[in-house]
Amino acid sequence: MLEGCVDWPEEFRERYRAAGYWRDETLGGLLRGWARRHGGRTALVAGATRWGYAELDRRADRLAAGLVALGVAAGDRVVVHLPNRAEFAVVCFALFRVGALPVLALPAHRDAEIAHLCRLSDAVAYVVPDELDGVDFRALARRVRSEAPSVRHVLVAGEAAEFVPLAEVDGEPVALPEPSPAEVALLLLSGGTTGAPKLIPRTHRDYGYSLRASAEVCGLGPGSVYLAALPAAHAFPLAAPGVLGTWSAGGTVVFATDPSPDGAFPLIEAERVTITSLVPPLAAVWAEAAEWSDADLSSLRLLQVGGARLPAASARRVPEALGCRLQQVFGMAEGLVNFTRLDDPPDVVATTQGRPMCPDDEVRVVDESDAPLPDGATGELQVRGPCILRGYYRDPVANARSFTADGFFRTGDLVRRLPSGHLVVEGRRTDVVNRGGEKVPVEEVEHHLLAHPAVRDVVVVGVPDAGLGERTCACVIPRAAAPTLAELRTFLQDRGLAAFKFPDRLEVLDSFPRTGVGKVSRRALAARFTEPSAATG
Ligand code: J2J
């Protein structure tokens, strides 16, 4: 296995192979099989682009040849920073075939996150669009390159300036050695952990199983049309079952670049979309828009909602407004995915976040000292299974904290398990604010804010928000004159942090409440600011 990764112990590898979860397959090889089986069917619709499976397969081979000619080799890491465009799919599959690993950055990430990812992974290449939402990604690439010397190539989808145009990375397909199915295929970003993004190694065979099983749970088939409304680089729209699961079932993927009703509804109507996945705030916006929109959404069969807790009232209203079924999905890039099932009673779908995808996912709910709790009691969720990582990439310190001695992953989520095995998410233990599905690691934000000259000390906490579930509040002890919220946001923007991490609110304090052992009490601070305040802005 790739250096810096932790493999499953032999006993578990045997078990997962014997049970048929893990197969001798690679992600690049899967596309070959899909192209053989569904060659003429439409795999991908993205803007004016409409490719069949055979076309996607052919393009992946040509790009793989071009990458090899550039010097990209098996085991290399490549930071892929592309929005929902056709190139996203071709780049990923070309890399899978080379045996190089895409590191999937989110479109919202900026200098701070990208430089961190490039350095952490020693990326040899960085793939960007020319521009997106008014941001020049070539300028971003120039800055990142100056901080991450390992990046030898910047590949640009579109106008490349001094860099390499992605369209010219092309060659006659060459025979490449097939990577081992046990090898790491890609590195996903962790959303749920403290501090800067961590990298999650996913192997060909564990990801292959995950997307196939997700597609089965969701009843996908060749008639399924999946709308990728959320960024495809995120684990939920990528493979739960998302883009890859839809292809494993022979269906069609439609890429949206704008997930709002204005962007998505016309695509649903035009392409007869049958399934999509959303975060809760977006689902609420869609439900509201469906009341006045005259777009024909009647093809929609299943709406998956996940990434953050969906309030039960929304869970009842959303499917009715959109005229489809709801499925709650509680997943994590670390591998566990829970789904409510298509035959679960409506009440279970409305009030739980589903049960684990795999029959051999081992789930336990524990108290503060890791002692197992009975069903119905709330505690931390710990999991082990065929798709669940055994260690973050190159992070022994985080690994010592995040895994138990017997290999269970400490999710940091506080849940309650029902006798049926369904889980109800009650909160989080780790310091991440879940801002409507976008995960804000508060320590990372605090670290940046502490560099502001007017900030003596700062704690960022989550406060309840009707729309997002939670939003961030920066509690600042100033040096002299207090900074304004706008100043802090501009400061973080200048430091190249993704905009969703900017604080939504500012509270200026003289001191922080402390716990009995003298640590700042985040809980007491958050409780203090659960009501809106006039002091923002
Ligand atoms: C409450 N909290 C949830 C839910 C995720 C499928 C779906 C989502 C993700 C994802 C994913 C939640 N209710 N329904 O990777 O494959 C919070 C939990 C979790 C963290 C993981 C997938 N669904 N969460 O959101 O890695 O706190 O993955 O630990 O981004 O999101 O975040 P992330």
**Quick one: which of 136, 142, 153, 87 has its CA closest to 115?**
142
Whether 332 lines ligand 1, by a CB cut-off of 6 Å, is: yes
| Ligand 1 site-directed mutation target among 106, 210, 304, 332, most atoms within 8 Å of CB | 332
What are the phi and psi torsion angles at 453 (to 5°)?
Answer: -60, -25
pLDDT score recorded for residue 516: 79
Distance CA 21, CA 14 (A): 11
pLDDT score recorded for residue 530: 85
pLDDT score recorded for residue 535: 46
Beta bridge partners of 154: 126
Q: What would you report as the CA-atom Rg of the chain, rounded to the nearest whole angstrom?
A: 23
Whether 248 lines ligand 1, by a CB cut-off of 6 Å, is: no
Q: Which fold has domain 432-528?
A: GMP Synthetase; Chain A, domain 3 (3.30.300)
Please give the ipTM for the structure prediction: 1.00
Q: What are the C-alpha distances in Å from 92 to residues 7, 57, 244, 247?
A: 23, 11, 11, 14
Residues of the chain below pLDDT 70:
531-537
Whether 502 lines ligand 1, by a CB cut-off of 6 Å, is: no
Query: Among positive and negative, which fits the CA dihedral 514, 409, 29, 68?
Result: positive
Whether 309 lines ligand 1, by a CB cut-off of 6 Å, is: yes
> Which atom of ligand 1 approaches the CA of 425 most closely?
1
Whether 411 lines ligand 1, by a CB cut-off of 6 Å, is: yes
pTM: 0.96
**Residue keyed to tokens 């991490």:** 501
Q: For residue 232, how far is its CA from the centre of ligand 1 (angstroms)?
A: 15
Whether 83 lines ligand 1, by a CB cut-off of 6 Å, is: no
Three-class DSSP category at 190: coil
Nearest CA to ligand 1 atom 21: 332
Distance CA 185, CA 101 (A): 6
Whether 380 lines ligand 1, by a CB cut-off of 6 Å, is: no
Distance CA 356, CA 337 (A): 6
Whether 198 lines ligand 1, by a CB cut-off of 6 Å, is: no
pLDDT score recorded for residue 58: 98
Whether 192 lines ligand 1, by a CB cut-off of 6 Å, is: yes
| Ligand 1 site-directed mutation target among 230, 330, 430, most atoms within 8 Å of CB | 330
pLDDT digits (tens, 9 = 90+) for 313-363: 999 999 999 999 999 999 999 999 999 999 999 999 999 999 999 999 999
Q: Which two tokens stand for residue 404?
A: 């138990």
Three-class DSSP category at 80: strand
Whether 236 lines ligand 1, by a CB cut-off of 6 Å, is: yes
pLDDT score recorded for residue 517: 81
Q: For residue 445, how far is its CA from the centre of ligand 1 (angstroms)?
A: 20
Whether 422 lines ligand 1, by a CB cut-off of 6 Å, is: no
pLDDT digits (tens, 9 = 90+) for 248-285: 999 999 999 999 999 999 999 999 999 999 999 999 99
Determine the residue type at 172.
Answer: E
Query: HSE on the CB side for 48, CA within 13 Å?
Result: 0
Determine the residue type at 199.
Answer: L
pLDDT score recorded for residue 196: 81
Decide whether 27-179 matches 432-528 in CATH topology.
Answer: no
Whether 469 lines ligand 1, by a CB cut-off of 6 Å, is: no
Q: For residue 235, how far is its CA from the centre of ligand 1 (angstroms)?
A: 9
Distance CA 242, CA 339 (A): 13
pLDDT score recorded for residue 515: 85
Distance CA 173, CA 165 (A): 19
**Quick one: which of 399, 397, 398, 525 has its CA closest to 472?**
525
> Which atom of ligand 1 approaches the CA of 411 most closely?
29
Q: For residue 537, how far is its CA from the centre of ligand 1 (angstroms)?
A: 30
Q: For residue 479, how far is its CA from the centre of ligand 1 (angstroms)?
A: 37
Determine the residue type at 262.
Answer: D
Distance CA 37, CA 507 (A): 59
Strands, E assignment, 334-491: 337-339, 355-356, 362-366, 378-384, 409-417, 423-428, 432-435, 438-441, 455-465, 469-478
Whether 402 lines ligand 1, by a CB cut-off of 6 Å, is: no
Distance CA 133, CA 152 (A): 26
pLDDT score recorded for residue 532: 54
Whether 340 lines ligand 1, by a CB cut-off of 6 Å, is: no
Whether 307 lines ligand 1, by a CB cut-off of 6 Å, is: yes
Query: Among positive and negative, which fits the CA dihedral 205, 211, 212, 214?
Result: positive
| CA 81 from centroid of its chain's CA atoms | 13
**Residue keyed to tokens 């390499």:** 164
- Domain extents in the chain: 27-179, 432-528
- The CATH number of 27-179 is 3.40.50.980
Q: For residue 314, how far is its CA from the centre of ligand 1 (angstroms)?
A: 18
Nearest CA to ligand 1 atom 3: 308
Q: For residue 336, how far is its CA from the centre of ligand 1 (angstroms)?
A: 9
Determine the residue type at 447.
Answer: H
Contact 508, 480 (CB under 8 A): no
